Structures are given as structure tokens and as C-alpha cells.
Chain A
């Protein structure tokens, strides 16, 4: 290829909000449920029914807008976007076009190439659509409206990104910010965070943007990266061959690794937006906005600073723990219950991260409670269990938030503090391992480790290794004398 091209990327990110109920009716917004069990006349578009806005949706929208440095509109409205498709029971989506709730913001991202700001054109509130299930057998489709009316925020960036690294950094940034706000769990795989990629290419140095395409159906970072590369190649090849890019929506097929155009004669792309007469406008006055500003949580940079001041733990730990709001919350709540930030941090940094990795889980999926972690730490401190037992207990906590006290009780894992039982075991081990005893006496320090291990085995693991070590040394010393 002769010319050098620059890729220009803008993103439309849809985030499903973590409200209890849907945006315009009192149905549960929770994921799952048998088909059409989270529905009512409103979210199935029955005649005569009317929408009423869930206040929490507005509050989350403002919170995300503030976090993304947006201007919060004093006056905003809902509009109807009209198009026929069976996943949308009214055949219009209630969204915001003319006066969205947040405009003109931006977030800072960092890639290997350095820091830059990605502008946010607007953030608006809208409703999600139902789910279509294709029935190959009967050659028809089936509609489940459980997701119909689940609240969404659509975050529209400016075309400020130039490559997949920046796109992913931007998505990671949004995700962390929104998770910190508790506004969404932002899981790409489950669809609670979805990104549509608008991409165009232009000759390097050109002032005008090229014609862009929009790609949908990207449900992992990997798919996003591959789709960007693929579409960039496709457009460049088109231009090189003297063709031109058509503005269109394309669907990414991650299995085939290619995109295809979603075109239909019946798809006129004329949405006839107009203000929804069923929903009065929203006016956010200064006082209310101030209140919402005050309710904003502490974001990561402030959290890092505070941790550095408050807790005596390494910067590296702070970096990892604050990378997830869930992790940071567990850390703080556990420390509040049992003190000992260093020990709490260790549990998170070592065992927790290991198990998350082994299970392919995200910190957001952690099941154990701060109460139980605090209990576990207190039990080890009190030498009620030894450290290897503690690890076993922790695995049970990680797996199913088992109560450590109950678990130790049920499994009979409590450390035996019975001096005579321990003495008996030590005696037995010394008698049974003359070679090791001999080695130790000859100055081989290492031999003591073997003897401790054997004694622990004899005690079925329920002894305090430190105690065993001390006793063995005393015993061997006595024997020497």
C-alpha cells in the first residue's frame, strides 16, 4: 500500500444500569428469569399503558455524567425513536435525542503512548429492548420481553481514538468509573456493557474525516480489537482499490472474524424522533445538582491517596486493590472489622487473586463477605487455626462464602492446644526418626523442618507449627544435655 492511513474511532457505549426495577415500570430489572416473567402491561407495550420514569435512572445518569466531566443539562427531555422490530413492543424506543441529560465531557486514558483525553459528546438515558430467540426448527423467532425497559445509559464519545489500545483503555476507564459509582457491573459478556464502534480511515494529515461505518455485536475486548483491525483493513483496501466506504451498520461475526452489512429494504433509517408526549421534561436546578455532586463517591485517584495516608501497605498493593471498586470495598470493610491492613491486603493480593485467576473470575464476582474474612484473620491471630488450615478455610469462603467459624467447627480443624497430646506426638516422631534426629544434632538445621512436618502429620494438621517447632527444639536440646 502506497499511502499511509490513520484510523479514527468513536464509540457508542451502552451500559445497563444496576437499578432494582426497569426504567418506566415496576418490573424487576434483574438479569435472567424464565421468558416473559419480568414483564407487565407497560413494558410489553399494551394499549393505553404509560411510562413513568424511575428516579434512580436519572440519578445514575447524572452521577456518570459528573464522573465523566460532563455538563449536566438543566432541562432535558425524552424522545421517541420510531422503528419497527419485534424486540421493541411499542415499535418506538424511548430515548433522548434533542436534549440529552449530559453533554460535552471527557475522560483521561493512558496507553503505552502516554496520556490523552477522549471527549464525550453526550450521555443519554434510554430503554433496552427484549430478546429474540431464533427457533431454527420451526423457522420463526420468539420474543422474550424480560429485558424490555431495562434502563440503559448510552455514552457517545467523540471520534478521538486512533487504535484498539486507546479504545480498550477508554472502555476500561469507563468501566472502572461506572463500577465505582455502583451504576452498573459493566460485564461485556453478559451484555451489561456493550460497545458499538464507529470507524473511518483517512490519509494521514487529511483534515476531513472519512466515511464511517458502525459495527455492532462486540461482546469482548478481544472481539473489539479484532473488529477494529478487520474493519480498518477492509476500509483501507477499499480505498486503495479506488472504491469508497459506504456509511452503514455492520455486524461483527467473531467466529468468522469478519463483519457484514446489515441492510434491508424495509429499514429506512428515518427514525422520526419527536419529544415523547407521555413524559414531562426534567429540570435539574442548582440545589439538586449540588446535592447529587455531594453524593458522588470517592473515585480511584482520591482513594489511592487516602490509602497511602491511612494504611501501611505497599503502593503496589494499593494499585491492585483500588483497581476494582469491589476489591477496595472488601478491603475497607474488612479492615474496619479486624484492623490489620497488611494482613487483609495479603489475603486479597495472594489467595484472592490466585483463586480469581484459576476460576476465570473478575473481582466483581467475589462472593465472600468482609465479615467472614475478618473472622478468618481473627481466628489465625488467636492461633485457633494454623495457616495451612486457614488457606483451606479461605477456599471454602471463596467458593461459597462459608462461615469460617462454622466450617472449622464442622471439619474439626481447630488447633489442638493440648500440651500432653503434642508431647506424645513429638516423642513418637523423635523415636521414629532417629536419622533426622541425628542430622539435627550434627548441625543440619534443615532436619528440624522434616520433624515439624512429621509432627504436624501426627497431629492431623491441627497443631500450631510454631509451637511444634519450639517444642521439638526444647526436646532435642534436652536430649543433647
Chain B
């Protein structure tokens, strides 16, 4: 089997036994990037030099017995809203087109400590606002299963890079489904951990009370291993939780005997694509066949999750994005008259339409006279949703459902109607509102051969149950298969490496 088809755990095992070198893995990935980027555009920045240097260093430390973890020598990608010291971090925005942080996110620090090798920064929806990776200021990412379709978003670059074998594992971030939905569209696995599990330090904030960093990988085991590495109690993040029981790989046991699984009727009705529905029900049957107790139930409130989510996320975003003002870093307009004109021009030119839309909505729902009716109301709805989940988890170990109502849409289709695009997050946003962990795993393909994602949600701090069930399901399901990968250009004149404003930095260490 070709090196790039190995899972991350297989790869690191082979590096450990000396069968191959860390450098070879990086070279193979870079070669694949070189071949595939002209079509897929998963990356905004590729740091080839840095990755090769790191690979040598990791190899030395592995040879010296200093490093032996399951991610040692594994080439990984990092979503471009996660800060990397000395490496361009753009959030896929013109606003941060030249921003090079002097610090790394805690999750990145932990990955590096564990010996992972960072290949580069992946494309995404601008400031993680979007569900298709089309709002990126540096061009859209293509779905490796069908380059006429979106990879999902906002962590579309990360999910596509894993699917296109342009890395072994990737970090994404999930505010309303931004890990789980692109994982579903790209036929890979993604985990959104319990809020507070992975430090948010260094993750450029979108909706601070909802944001979590998580892994995207080829299978459940790789994701569990990566999650174990990036989980930490970080004193730099006041919302970080000191958890025990974070040896997630210990949960990789093929056993769902007696596990109680609830299937919300609310998630299986109107608006759900028929083929997706069938695939999810089939997956439920598979689990039932392995001894799980699966039943349908009424979760309730599902239709209020999106209104509450967009109110809260936009409000927090409007405040979080105030710091982008052309004063300390990032884009400053060339022409302006006075301070406020500088602010307005820089922000109007630096942010794309979707970001502006959410900033304006967020500013409105917090503004004088509307705070109670919108923002406070949304926090109360959030409380009710949390309560509904508490009640559900009193009965069930896991909640099962689709990760998205459809498979990957065609490029350009979603942006035409933003509200329609927001509705696509219906099954994922609740986990963010309630702080719950969720996982998305491929559970079949539709008639067009597009991957379908199954979502499992656990109660807070119950990742292990979720990982156990996902692993058991994955074993029962068997190999999912890979997309047929293409090389060259997409015919639209794009070169081998991305040439967005951020893309120009490709291949260079900054």
C-alpha cells in the first residue's frame, strides 16, 4: 500500500520501527500537495522548508529515544485560524493577509511537543464564518470526491486535505458544526470535543462560548490519538477544564453491548435528504446489531437551535472581530481621512461579505433596545436546549443522527441564499450550544458516490463513550474507500500551488 494511504497511527508505528523516516513521510505529503493543490486548494500556506527541518529534528529525537508518542513524525495540517508562531495565519481573510503571530496556539504547541510535523495552514471560510469554504478570501477549496462540489466548512481545507491525502491528520475548529459537517462531506472523521477540553488559546475567536478545536482524520483511531495529544488543562484559557479520563485511545474498543442510543425524531424528519436518512438508519441498525439498544425519541426544540445559535455566535463575533481595526496588525486601508474613516475603510475593505453580514447582525442584537429581545432571549433558549439534552442523556448514552441534511452541495449554490446555508447547520449547532462532544463518521455514499456523515453526540465529558461507539461502528462498516485523486490544474488556470494573496507565501517559512 502506498505510504499516503496509511493512517497516522500506522505511519508513526513504521517510523518508530525504522521502516521509514519522518522525512520520507513529509516528502511524500509535499509531493502529493504539489500534485493536488492546483485542483483542491486545501492550503493557504504550505511550509515545506519548515516541515522538512522539523522532520529531521523529530527523527533525531525519536532515534535518541526522547520521542515515542503515536503522532511522532506524522505530517499534519492546521486550520488557518489557529495561530502558529512565525507562520502566516490569515483566517482566510484579507484582513490578516500578512499576519505572522509571535505565539502558537496551545493545541499547536502540544502537537509539536508530541512530534507531529506541521505541513501548513489550511483554507477555511473567512474567520470560520460559512459552511462551504467558499467565503475564503483566497479562493474556494474543492471536494476531493467531486471537484464540482464544496468540501463543506468552515474547516473545509482541513477535511479536504485529509481526504486528498495531502496530510495525515488536521486540526479544525467547530463553532456550529465546522469540523463535523466538512468531515461528513469529505468522507473523513471529525471530532468536536466537549467545550473546554482543548485550549482555545491561539484560536482566533469567532463565537467564544461555542468554539472548540478538534481533530479531523482518516479514521476514529487517528482522531482519538490526536485529541488525546491536544487535550490539556491550560491556565491561559479561563474556560479550559481540568479533566480526568482523557486517555481517549483507551476507548478504542469494539463494544457497544447494552449501550443506550437515542435517535431524535426531530433530526430525521422534514428537510432531511432521503438517501442521508436511509444511511443513518442503516448505521443505527448496524449498532443495534452489535448489541446497542437503539430507539427513537423526541428531543424537542431542534428548530430553535439555529436562531439561538446565529444570535449568540454573531453577537460574540461582532465583539471578537472589533480588534481588527488596522492599528496593531493586519490590513489598513491605503486611503482615509482621520481615525474613524481609517477604521471603516480598513474593515470594509478587509472583511468579506459574509463576515460583514454577521458583524452587523451581531452588533444589532446587542444594541440598545434589542439586547433583551435577541441576545438575552437566545441565552434563555440555549438554557432550554441544554436542559433538553440533560434529559435525553439521563436516558441515553449517545444521541445518533445525520451530520448534515444533505451531501456536499455544488460550488456556488449555497452562497446565493445565506439563510438557506444557515439551515444546513441544523443538526450540529446544538452540540455547540450545549457544550457537548460530537463526532462525524462516514456511513455510506449516496447514488452519486458522495459521502454521507453520521453524527454521534455524547453528554459532556463523555467522549469515550462516543469514541467507543464510533470505533465499533467503523469496524462493522468496514473500509470506507478513498476518492479518486487527480493531479494538475483545474483548468481554471490555477497553478500547482495556490496563488491567493495568502497563497503566495506557499513553500516559504516566514
Known interface pairs A84-B325, A91-B322, A277-B208; A49-B201 also in contact (CB < 8 Å): yes
Cβ-defined partner of B209 (8 Å) among A266, A270, A272, A277: A277
How far apart are the CA atoms of A274 and B99 in the complex, in Å? 28
B475 in the interface, Cβ–Cβ < 8 Å? no
CB distance A47 to B316 under 8 Å?
no
How far apart are the CA atoms of A35 and B34 in the complex, in Å? 45
B363 in the interface, Cβ–Cβ < 8 Å? yes
A279 in the interface, Cβ–Cβ < 8 Å? yes
Complex contacts, A143 vs chain B, CB 8 Å:
327
How far apart are the CA atoms of A46 and B324 in the complex, in Å? 9
How far apart are the CA atoms of A45 and B205 in the complex, in Å? 12
| Cβ < 8 Å to A, chain B residues 156-212 | 200-205, 207-209
Complex contacts, A41 vs chain B, CB 8 Å:
101-103
Cβ-defined partner of B366 (8 Å) among A46, A53, A82, A264: A82
Known interface pairs A82-B366, A277-B208; A91-B325 also in contact (CB < 8 Å): yes
How far apart are the CA atoms of A92 and B102 in the complex, in Å? 22
Known interface pairs A50-B201, A89-B323; A274-B238 also in contact (CB < 8 Å): no
Question: Which single residue of chain B is at the shortest CB-CB distance from A87?
Answer: B327
Cβ distance B201 to chain A, nearest Cβ, rounded Å: 5
Chain A at the B interface: SS class:
loop
Question: Which single residue of chain A is at the shortest CB-CB distance from B342?
Answer: A86
Complex contacts, A52 vs chain B, CB 8 Å:
235-238
B371 in the interface, Cβ–Cβ < 8 Å? yes
Known interface pairs A49-B201, A53-B238; A92-B322 also in contact (CB < 8 Å): yes
Complex contacts, B92 vs chain A, CB 8 Å:
none
Contact string against A for B residues 424-458, beta-carbon threshold 8 Å, 1 for contact and 0 otherwise: 00000000000000000000000000000000000
Contact string against A for B residues 92-115, beta-carbon threshold 8 Å, 1 for contact and 0 otherwise: 000010010111010000000000
B348 in the interface, Cβ–Cβ < 8 Å? no
Complex contacts, B7 vs chain A, CB 8 Å:
none
B416 in the interface, Cβ–Cβ < 8 Å? no
CB distance B238 to A272 under 8 Å?
no
Contact string against A for B residues 323-345, beta-carbon threshold 8 Å, 1 for contact and 0 otherwise: 11101110000000001100100
How far apart are the CA atoms of A48 and B366 in the complex, in Å? 22
B315 in the interface, Cβ–Cβ < 8 Å? yes
How far apart are the CA atoms of A270 and B318 in the complex, in Å? 14
Interface residue tally on A, bucketed by range? 20 to 34
Interface size on B, residues (CB 8 A): 44
Complex contacts, B237 vs chain A, CB 8 Å:
50, 52
A44 in the interface, Cβ–Cβ < 8 Å? yes
Cβ distance A141 to chain B, nearest Cβ, rounded Å: 8
How far apart are the CA atoms of A279 and B91 in the complex, in Å? 24
CB distance A47 to B101 under 8 Å?
yes
Cβ distance B110 to chain A, nearest Cβ, rounded Å: 15
A280 in the interface, Cβ–Cβ < 8 Å? yes
Question: Which single residue of chain B is at the shortest CB-CB distance from A90?
Answer: B323
B308 in the interface, Cβ–Cβ < 8 Å? no
CB distance B99 to A47 under 8 Å?
yes
| Cβ < 8 Å to B, chain A residues 274-297 | 274, 277-280
Known interface pairs A84-B343, A279-B238, A280-B239; A48-B205 also in contact (CB < 8 Å): yes
Complex contacts, B323 vs chain A, CB 8 Å:
45, 47, 89-91
B461 in the interface, Cβ–Cβ < 8 Å? no
Cβ-defined partner of B101 (8 Å) among A46, A50, A92, A278: A46
Cβ distance B237 to chain A, nearest Cβ, rounded Å: 5
B40 in the interface, Cβ–Cβ < 8 Å? no
Contact string against B for A residues 79-106, beta-carbon threshold 8 Å, 1 for contact and 0 otherwise: 0101010100111100000000000000
B396 in the interface, Cβ–Cβ < 8 Å? no
| Cβ < 8 Å to A, chain B residues 336-373 | 339-340, 343, 363, 366-368, 371
CB distance B319 to A50 under 8 Å?
no
Known interface pairs A86-B339, A270-B368; A48-B83 also in contact (CB < 8 Å): yes
CB distance B238 to A51 under 8 Å?
yes
B375 in the interface, Cβ–Cβ < 8 Å? yes
Cβ-defined partner of B367 (8 Å) among A45, A91, A92, A272: A272
Known interface pairs A84-B343, A272-B366, A274-B366; A46-B205 also in contact (CB < 8 Å): no
Which of B91, B105, B237 has the most chain A CB atoms inside 10 A of its CB? Answer: B237
Known: A50-B200, A91-B323. 9 other contacts (CB 8 A): A41-B103, A47-B83, A47-B323, A84-B340, A89-B328, A266-B340, A270-B367, A277-B207, A277-B239
Query: Could you show 21 A-B contacts with beta carbons less than 8 Å apart?
Result: A45-B328, A46-B102, A47-B83, A47-B323, A47-B324, A48-B83, A49-B103, A49-B202, A50-B200, A50-B237, A82-B319, A84-B322, A84-B343, A89-B328, A264-B340, A270-B367, A272-B363, A273-B366, A273-B371, A274-B366, A274-B371
The 6 closest A-B pairs by CB, nearest first: A91-B322, A272-B366, A277-B209, A277-B208, A266-B340, A48-B202
Which residues of B are interface residues toward A (Cβ below 8 A)? 82-83, 89, 91, 96, 99, 101-103, 105, 200-205, 207-209, 235-239, 315-316, 318-319, 322-325, 327-329, 339-340, 343, 363, 366-368, 371, 375
